[in-house]
Amino acid sequence: MDANSLMPFLGGIAVGFIFAAIIFSVTRKKGDDGAARPDSVQLLGSLQEKGRLIDFLMEEIKDYDDSQIGAAVRNIHQDCQKLLKEYFPLKQVVDAKEDSEFVVNEGFDPSKIKLTGNVGSKPPFKGIVRHSGWMVSEVKMPVRPSNIDKNVVAPAEVEIS
């Protein structure tokens, strides 16, 4: 098996991990008691409704070949990306291209800039941008009706004949 034949599978894994990270960051807070937060469940529901992401992540994929997984991932990626852009417009944390030189001055916000490598004791730090970071510029999630069960990610579907 060569590297090219693994690409669809690795793409599927990457999509899953990316959205799992998003879901985890939205659903858990320090000191959280583990109770479902309505906005977290709503995000899961939206990812399911628009991109069928939950179905994909809950499906056992070991019996599918890489081309089948790759085809599924392309659609899931497209639909979930559209949702992400619509509900959570993103912008870069730092206005710098990856692999460009960057100076981190004194008073920087460590929640916005993660220093790696040979970090000295005091700023300014001069380094190379390895990732420009992402931050939400606005949250546009639609308001969820108050009369529905807040724990339902996606309702069961029953076709009546």
Q: Residue 18's pLDDT is what?
A: 59
Domain residue spans of the chain: 1-89+138-155, 94-135
Q: What is the model's pLDDT at position 5?
A: 55
Please give the helix or strand (H or E) that residue 125 lies within, else none.
strand 125-128
Q: With H, G, I as helix, E, B as strand and everything else as coil, classify residue 104.
A: strand
pLDDT at position 95:
95
- Is the previous residue joined to 145 through a cis bond, with omega within 30 degrees of 0? no
What's the predicted TM-score (pTM) here? 0.68
56 close to 76: Cβ distance less than 8 angstroms: yes
Amino acid at 98: E
pLDDT at 31: 47
**Confidence at residue 143, expressed as pLDDT on a 0 to 100 scale:** 85
Mean pLDDT in consecutive groups of 10 residues from the start of the chain, 161 residues: 53 58 54 66 90 91 92 92 93 96 96 93 94 93 87 92 93
> What is the maximum alpha-carbon separation in the chain?
71
| pLDDT confidence of residue 12 | 57
